[in-house]
């Protein structure tokens, strides 16, 4: 496809119809993509149904002493506090925010959501290791009410099974 476009571009400007003909010849389908929620893994549908059932019944489970908690992580977050505080707007002058900021490097957010209450608990650190995950889960457990059972929904492919990045 690149060769066709390059050769045609040398001869003349590309028209819209030429671009469509080249795209059709290459059989490109940019509007279609594979989405991670449709896994071909065996047992995926049953696992997804189980997780949805936990979420749907989380309030009833909470009343029975069972707590549903979802955990996930976000990697590569940039925490960029401003060097100077913003100046408030004054009559005739807009608010002013300086462009300078302090770089702390990439950070990892490991967060838990207590499904029936909506409470969020997080851990912000430089790495995403098994130890970081275990420390987060232990910290969350300490902050939660005593329950008969805890159901943790965890992405075990990247969170539990991860190594230091």
What confidence tens digit (pLDDT) does each residue in 91-127 have? 888 888 888 888 877 888 899 999 999 999 998 888 8
CA distances to 59, 76, 110, 113, 116 from 145, rounded to whole Å, are 14, 31, 20, 14, 13
Distance between CA atoms of 51 and 152, rounded to whole angstroms? Answer: 10
Q: Please report which confidence band the pLDDT of residue 162 belongs to, taking 50, 70 and 90 as the band edges.
A: very low
Q: Is pTM beyond 0.85 here?
A: no
Q: Tell me 139's DSSP state.
A: H
Instruction: For 5-31, write each residue's pLDDT tens digit.
Output: 666 566 666 677 877 787 777 776 666
Query: How far apart, in whole angstroms, are the C-alpha atoms of residue 91 and residue 70?
Result: 47
| Residue 126 C-alpha from the chain's centroid | 17
Q: Where are the domains of the chain?
A: 44-82+100-160
């Amino acid at each position: 496809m690149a060769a066709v476009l390059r050769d045609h571009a040398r001869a003349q400007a590309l028209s819209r119809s030429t671009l469509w003909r080249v795209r059709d010849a290459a059989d490109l389908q940019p509007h279609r993509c594979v989405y991670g929620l449709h896994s071909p893994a065996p047992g995926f549908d049953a696992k997804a149904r189980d997780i949805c059932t936990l979420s749907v019944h989380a309030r009833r489970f909470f009343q029975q002493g069972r707590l549903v908690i979802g955990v996930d992580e976000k990697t590569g977050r940039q925490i960029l506090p401003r060097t100077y505080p913003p100046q408030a707007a004054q009559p005739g002058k807009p608010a002013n925010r300086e462009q300078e900021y302090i770089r702390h490097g990439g950070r990892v957010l490991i967060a838990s959501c207590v499904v029936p209450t909506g409470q969020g608990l997080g851990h912000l650190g430089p790495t995403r290791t098994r130890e970081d995950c275990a420390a987060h889960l232990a910290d969350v457990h300490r902050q939660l009410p005593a329950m008969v059972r805890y159901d943790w929904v965890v992405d075990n492919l990247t969170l539990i099974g991860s190594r230091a990045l």
